Structure formats: structure tokens, C-alpha cells
Chain A
Amino acid sequence: MNARPEAAYAPAPAPLTEPTFGTATTGKVGMWIFLVTDAMTFGGLLLAYGILRAGNKEWPAPTTVLGIPFTAFMTFVLIVSSLTMVLGLDAAKKGDRREAVKWLVATAGGGVFFLCGQVYEYRHLIHEGFTLPSGNFPATFYVITSFHGGHVFTGVCYLLITAFGVSRGRHLENGANFVEITGLFWHFVDLIWILVFTLVYLIP
């Protein structure tokens, strides 16, 4: 029998412990990966914004065109909706269906308020001639904020579906895992907004 160098083998399977990823469920792992891909899409759009803005000397200061106090209030509402989301998850984990549904619907309400604010803001800006073809500042503004708005809309639907499920007694098993995944998405949408608000509205 030929002696074979040990190194030629693929390494022996050493510790035969559970090969799963901690205790995270497939749904949670999947959502995290999706959020990374989604962040990359926003990354692409924000990169385009950065390059176009850096290459254009006549870029107006956003504060002169956009209404900062109004959007700051919308931002505040969105952040508060993250808080209500946490309260909803907490209630769901404790098995308190009534309380959980209440907070989830409140979170969705925050999202709806934000969307209404965005519609109001768009109408106002379009009225002032700030339209998609009128320049690259409005164009990047509309692409990034409406792409985010689409996420808020998706999040509101997602929250209402989750709330409906909870009201029917579903989604509470496994430490309210389903509610937690919904929350991951919602917090992500909030986090992205903070970046968008800073980069598109605030940087002078």
C-alpha cells in the first residue's frame, strides 16, 4: 500500500457540532442578506448622486430648495415608528397579541404619515418647477427619495400583513421570529432614511 501524505486529504471534519448559523432561523438569515443587497442598490444610487454632485460646480445648496424643518419632522416621525416597532416586538415576544397589534398598526401609521408628507413635498416642489428633467439635483433627489418611499410603502404593507397575522394568533412562535424579521426590514428603511436625509437634504 502506498503511503499517502496526510495533507493530501481534505481536512477531516473535526468538531461535529451543529453546523447551523447560531440560532438564527432561515428567515432571519435570508432577510439580513436581502438587506445587504438592498443597501448596495441604495449605495449605487448614492454613489451616482455623489459623483454627479462633485462634478457639478453649479449644484445648488439643498437647504435653499428643500424645506428642512418639514422633512426633519417627517424624519422624527419615522424614527418614532422604529420605537413603536420595538414595543410591538416586545409585546409579541410576551405573547400579548392585543398590545402587539396595537404597536404594529401604530408603526404602519407612522409610515403612512411619512408617505403623505412625501406626496405633499413632491407636489410642492413640482409646483415650483423642481421636476425630474429640470436638472441633476432634482433628478437624483426624486430617484433616491422615491426609491426610499417605495420601501416605506412595502414596509407598511408588510407591517399590516404581520399585524393581521398576529391578530389571528399567528407569528408568535419561536420568540415572535416573524415579527422580528418584519422589524429588521422596518429598521433598515429608517436607517436608510437617516443616510438619505443627511446626504441629500443636509450637506450644504
Chain B
Amino acid sequence: MGDATMSKPVPVRHLHVGPEFHAEQHIHPEPTSFLSRYVFSKDHKVIAKQFLWYGLFFLVMGGVMAMMIRWQIAFPGTAFPVLGQLLWPQSGGVMPPQSYAAFFTMHGTLMIFFAITPILIGAFGNLLIPLMIGARDMAFPTLNLMSFWTNVLAGLCMIVSFFVPMGPAAGGWQSYPTLSTLVGSPGHGQTLWILGIFLTGSASIMGAVNYITTVVRLRAPGMGYFQMPLSVWGIWLTAILNALFVPVLAAGVLLLFLDRVFGSHFFLAGASITKGGGDPVLYQHLFWIFGHPEVYILILPAWGIVSDLLSFFSRKPAFGYKATALSMSVITLLSMVVYGHHMFVVGMSPLLSQGFMTLTMLISIPSAVFFLNWLGTMWRGSIRFATPMLFSLGVVFVFGLGGLTGLHLGAISSDIYLHDSYFVIGHFHLTMAASVLLGAFAAIYFWFPKMFGKMMNETLGKWHFWLTIIPITIVFCGMLVVGYAGMQRRLYNYEAYEFLKHLHPINVWITRAALLLGASQFLFVGNFLSSLISGKKAAENPWEVGTLEWTIPSPPPHHNYDEIPVVLHGPHEFNNPAVTGKDWLAQDEPIGDEPVALGAVGN
């Protein structure tokens, strides 16, 4: 069939581009002052880098907290090395229970809203959308600038909350009432948490409006929705979910704020108040209406990026490109109607629970479709095991584990046993922590040359991969095991319970693996910084792939494209038999002397 393409006359392609379309994307002169260039920049590439640094900062912070939480679980009553003495001198370096609760709360909050979201959505959303669809910048550059700085304010709220009396929020990352009301958390930490979430939510909404509009309006001529790289698909669907559901969280935390500061009692019931009657479960509804789409908000960009990278490094077109894009879209739709599976134990109507269970189970169908497409993409490919590919394979592996364990939690009968156990922790870390983290590393290793114009060190990258994937699997699979054995989450000292004492050895091993995981990230930090300073200079297209960002210099000029490219192919044109001399084809590159009538382009 491949030969048929060569012998058949290629039809002349006609492009119709209205003048209005071109009028929209002016080339703006590059800003010259330091502030407008690096601090308050409107350039999507600079904002992407700001988000990357911002996210990496909170990734370190959240990671260190995870180490301390694990230390307390495995070695209760012993001082955390070095940092323990600084943080808790009064207890001789041992983490007190209040700090434990605060740390697992802030670990979740910071990782989800301030590490993963800025890195994958903030940094790679900003970097990739305009570059990959052939645009000069985002649709609303000023809004983009505001989105980043609103996020910084939110981050400051969170950091400040560590220094107020009674410490930061300690009611879990969901901040359920009554834990999060004045009854459970009288300090200012929880109030600052609410402000931080409200601000970062506003920033997410600004970003989402910008991303959706950019994809809808600024695609280069010829770039239909089904010529977009799957990375853009993933980020775009994430933006849609953000636009729809972050506002519901905003409404929820607004009511919580009023409860705490202005004395209303939306979420207080029973003996906590004297009159009226609020409903703590109402908060859970508002939270999970947002919260379930949120897990897809986090994972969709990683799915998209991995779908592209698997094709790039297998030197094959993505298997079932359209099916992957559509199954991600179907999951996006389904994610809106399954939130009740987080609340099976609150005493919902069984009929409603069964509906939520059925819809939840339906998600496994589109998930299986794109998962098999990933395997199909690699099948018989000429795989190049570069670092980004290794991390993508890591995502396939941990996401497979995480996805399968999700079925146990989606089914009511097994969920009632597993609810609030370490099985849940293991499951969601495999899906939205391990998968997303490995996906973020894949993206950083892959696009680092385009962002900074330097290559990262491959040897260090491979060491980093193996020293990450092995401990990360042990950590989260270990959690599945202890959870299945009945260990509840959020226990300060599980050994106080006789029936959990025998889990000590496995908990110690989880902690050892976690410490190794933490330590091996120094390889990444070292690689990142040394490559930034003295990395090998990156060529225009070091990975030999065809998406549009690799047709322009590394790093790209301020306005990205001198001429808006005209897209002729899909994003994964590998080993096209009509192309000789190389196995890839840029999206805007004509095959041989293929006739293309450019219509009004260039007028």
C-alpha cells in the first residue's frame, strides 16, 4: 500500500486563508528591559520557564515533606536526620503529631497544585501549545502573565502558612469540614490555605481560557484538530476540564472561607452549632465535582506527551492516532460524571452509588483503547532508548499498575473495605504522582534542548531513570500491599494498633525505597543545572522528529515563526516510503515536489 502512494498522482492541495487570520498574529519587537524580558514577560516561552522553576521549587518542598512523613512511619520516635533538629528542636528532632498532619496535608496540596500543575500545565502547556500549533504566542499574552503572577501570590500564601501560629493547614489535602472549619483547625493556616487555593484556581482558570482559545483560534493553516500532536490534545482537554471544574472548587472554598471568617455555617451540623443546620457532606460534593476531573487534569498532559514520545522514539506513526485522541476526549467527558465514587462510604443512595460505579467502570474502555494504542505504537518499531523514551516507558508501566488498581476502588464492594487505606494512597500515587512525575521528566529531558538550547547529559539521565523507576515502584506497590492488609492512611503511629504491627518490615522497606528515590533526584538536579551551564549546544532538531517546534532554532526566536508554517502532514510522519534519505518528515515539509497551491498565504 505504501507503494501506491508513490505511483498515484498526489492531488493538489488548496489552502484558503483569510486575511483576517494573518492580521491577528503580528510580530512584536522583543522587549529590551530586564523586567519586561525575564520577570513580567508576556512571551509564552519565558512564562513556561518561570512556571518550570516555580514548579520544581515546590516539587523539592513537597518531596522533602514526603521523606519526613515516610521517616515517621518507619521509624517513629526517632529524629529525622539534620532537618529534624532545625524544625522541631523542642522534641529533639522528632516530628510531633500536629506537624505530621500538617505535612501530609501540605505535601498533597503543594504537589498537586504547586508542583505538577505548574510543571505540566503551566510550563509545558505554555511552551508547547503555540510552538506545536504554529502560532507566534498565546491568544492573550497579558492574561498569561497575570496567570503566572497570581500563581506566585497563591504560592506565597502557602509558604506564609508555615510560619503562622499553629502552623499550616492540617485537615488533609481535601480539607473536609469539620476538620477544616474553626472547630477542627482554629489557626490561620487553614484560612491561608483557602486563599492560596482560591488564587491558584483563578490562575488555572486564566490559563484555561487562554489555552482553549489559542488552540481553537491560532492553529496554523492546515493544522486541523486531527493534525495536532497528541501533547496538544492532552493539554487542551486538561484546559477544558480546568475551565469547567476549578470554578466549582472556588465556590466550595469560598463557602468554607465564609464559615471560618464571617461566622456562617454552611458546613457545620449537629452539636457544632446552635441554630440552622449546615451539611459537611455538601463540601465533599463540591470538592469531588472538581476533585475527580482534577485527577484527569493532572494526568491528561502526561498521557498526551507520552503518546507523542512513544511514536517519536519508536520511529513509527502513533498507532491509532485518532482513536487515542478520541478516547482521551471520551475520558474527559466521563470524568465529569463519576465523582461519587470518592464518596461511597458517606451514605449515598445505593442507586446513585451503583450509577457512579457503572460510569466509573466505563472509563476502563477508553483507557484500554489508548493503552493498547501505546503498545501498538511500539510494536515492531525501531526503538531508540534515549532518556525521554525510558521515562515514557516508565509512565506506561506505572500507569498500567495504577489503572488496574483503580478498578478495585471503583467497585463499591471492594471500595468499602479499601476506602481510606494505604491501597488508595498507592493507587493514586501510581496514577497521578508516579505517572505524572515520570511524564514530566520525559517532557523535561525531551524539550530541554528546545527550551534552553542545550542538551542534557544522557548517561546521567539513564542513571536517573533507573534509580527512579525501581524505588518508585517499590514505594507505591508496597503501599498497595499494606493497604490491602488493612493499614489506614494518615496514621501518626500505626504501631499503636496491634493488628498492624506485623507490617513493620514492609513499611521500613517502603521508607528505604522512598529515601533512595529522593536521593536519586539529585542526579536530575545536577544534570539539569550542569546542562544549563555547560551542556552541549542543541541542534535545531536533535531527536529527528517532525512536529513544528523542531523546524525552528533552539531556543526559538521571540516571535517563534518568521512565517506562519503551512501544515501538510500529521505529527508522526515516520518512515513514509515516499521520503528518502531520512526516516522523518516535518509537518510543514512537502514530499519531493508535491504540488501545493498555497491560496492566499503570503498575501
A48 and B224 within 8 A (CB): no
Nearest chain B CB to A170 CB, angstrom units: 17
A18 and B250 within 8 A (CB): no
B247 and A44 within 8 A (CB): yes
Which residues of A have CB within 8 Å of B223?
13, 19
B291-329: CB near A (< 8 Å → 1, else 0) gives: 000000000000000000000000011111110000000
CB of B549 within 8 A of chain A?
no
A132 and B264 within 8 A (CB): yes
A19 and B258 within 8 A (CB): no
B360-383: CB near A (< 8 Å → 1, else 0) gives: 000000000000000000000000
Which residues of A have CB within 8 Å of B264?
132-133, 136, 139, 143
Which residues of B have CB within 8 Å of A5?
1
B20 and A23 within 8 A (CB): yes
A44 and B16 within 8 A (CB): no
Beyond A48-B282, A139-B264, is A30–B570 a contact (Cβ under 8 Å)? no
Nearest chain B CB to A155 CB, angstrom units: 18
A55 and B279 within 8 A (CB): yes
A24–B212 alpha-carbon span in the complex (Å): 14
Residue picked from A14, A16, A143, most chain B C-beta under 10 Å: A16
CB of B182 within 8 A of chain A?
no
B221 and A18 within 8 A (CB): yes
Among A14-59, those with CB < 8 Å from B are 14-21, 23-26, 29-30, 33-34, 36-38, 40-45, 47-48, 51-52, 55-56
Q: Which of B218, B243, B571 contacts A37 (CB 8 A)?
A: B243
Beyond A16-B222, A44-B286, A136-B278, is A29–B16 a contact (Cβ under 8 Å)? no
Nearest chain A CB to B26 CB, angstrom units: 13
CB of B276 within 8 A of chain A?
yes
CB of A127 within 8 A of chain B?
no
B250 and A44 within 8 A (CB): yes
Beyond A20-B21, A37-B208, is A48–B567 a contact (Cβ under 8 Å)? no
Among B559-573, those with CB < 8 Å from A are 567-573
B276 and A30 within 8 A (CB): no
CB of A9 within 8 A of chain B?
yes
B245-267: CB near A (< 8 Å → 1, else 0) gives: 11111111011001000111110
Q: Which of B15, B216, B262, B276 contacts A21 (CB 8 A)?
A: B216
B215-240: CB near A (< 8 Å → 1, else 0) gives: 01111111110110000000000000
B213 and A11 within 8 A (CB): no
A15–B14 alpha-carbon span in the complex (Å): 8
A199–B250 alpha-carbon span in the complex (Å): 21
CB of A4 within 8 A of chain B?
yes
Which residues of A have CB within 8 Å of B286?
44, 47-48
Beyond A29-B216, A136-B278, A139-B258, is A44–B289 a contact (Cβ under 8 Å)? yes
Which residues of B have CB within 8 Å of A16?
13-16, 221-222
- Which residue in chain A gives the minimum CB-CB distance to B380? A2
Which residues of A have CB within 8 Å of B214?
26
Q: Which of A3, A8, A44, A139 contacts B319 (CB 8 A)?
A: A8
Nearest chain A CB to B4 CB, angstrom units: 8
A9 and B140 within 8 A (CB): no
Q: Which of A15, A20, A136, A143 contacts B265 (CB 8 A)?
A: A136
Residue picked from B15, B247, B255, B322, most chain A C-beta under 10 Å: B247
Which residues of B have CB within 8 Å of A19?
219-224
CB of B160 within 8 A of chain A?
no
A30 and B319 within 8 A (CB): no
A26 and B24 within 8 A (CB): yes
CB of B3 within 8 A of chain A?
yes
- Which residue in chain A gives the minimum CB-CB distance to B567? A13
B577 and A136 within 8 A (CB): no
A20 and B217 within 8 A (CB): yes
- Which residue in chain B gives the minimum CB-CB distance to A147? B254
CB of B205 within 8 A of chain A?
yes
B205 and A37 within 8 A (CB): yes
Q: Which of B17, B221, B262, B275 contacts A135 (CB 8 A)?
A: B275
B279 and A52 within 8 A (CB): yes
Q: Which of A18, A20, A30, A44 contacts B251 (CB 8 A)?
A: A44
CB of B97 within 8 A of chain A?
no
A41–B243 alpha-carbon span in the complex (Å): 10
Among A124-180, those with CB < 8 Å from B are 132-137, 139-140, 143
CB of A1 within 8 A of chain B?
yes
Which residues of B have CB within 8 Å of A37?
205, 208-209, 243-244, 246-247
B16 and A17 within 8 A (CB): yes
- Which residue in chain B gives the minimum CB-CB distance to A174? B20
Beyond A30-B210, A52-B282, is A10–B571 a contact (Cβ under 8 Å)? yes
A30–B139 alpha-carbon span in the complex (Å): 9
CB of A12 within 8 A of chain B?
yes
A10 and B570 within 8 A (CB): yes
- Which residue in chain A gives the minimum CB-CB distance to B311? A10
Which residues of A have CB within 8 Å of B224?
13-15, 19
Which residues of A have CB within 8 Å of B322?
10-11
Which residues of A have CB within 8 Å of B249?
44
A140–B258 alpha-carbon span in the complex (Å): 11
B569 and A13 within 8 A (CB): yes
CB of B285 within 8 A of chain A?
yes
B266 and A13 within 8 A (CB): no
CB of B2 within 8 A of chain A?
yes
CB of B575 within 8 A of chain A?
yes
Residue picked from A2, A29, A48, A139, most chain B C-beta under 10 Å: A48
Nearest chain B CB to A23 CB, angstrom units: 7
Beyond A11-B321, A20-B217, A40-B247, is A52–B278 a contact (Cβ under 8 Å)? yes
- Contacts from B to A (Cβ < 8 Å): 1-3, 13-18, 20-21, 24, 139-140, 143, 205, 208-210, 212-214, 216-224, 226-227, 243-252, 254-255, 258, 262-266, 275-279, 282, 285-286, 289, 316-322, 567-573, 575, 577
Please list 18 pairs of residues, one from A and one from B, whose beta carbons are closer than 8 Å in the complex, sorted by A's number.
Answer: A11-B322, A11-B570, A12-B569, A14-B224, A18-B16, A18-B221, A26-B139, A26-B213, A29-B217, A34-B205, A41-B251, A44-B249, A44-B289, A52-B278, A56-B277, A132-B262, A136-B277, A139-B258
- 5 additional A-B residue pairs with CB within 8 Å, beyond A11-B570, A16-B13, A33-B208: A10-B321, A16-B221, A20-B219, A42-B251, A51-B279
| 5 smallest beta-carbon distances between A and B, as pairs | A44-B251, A10-B570, A133-B263, A41-B247, A10-B321
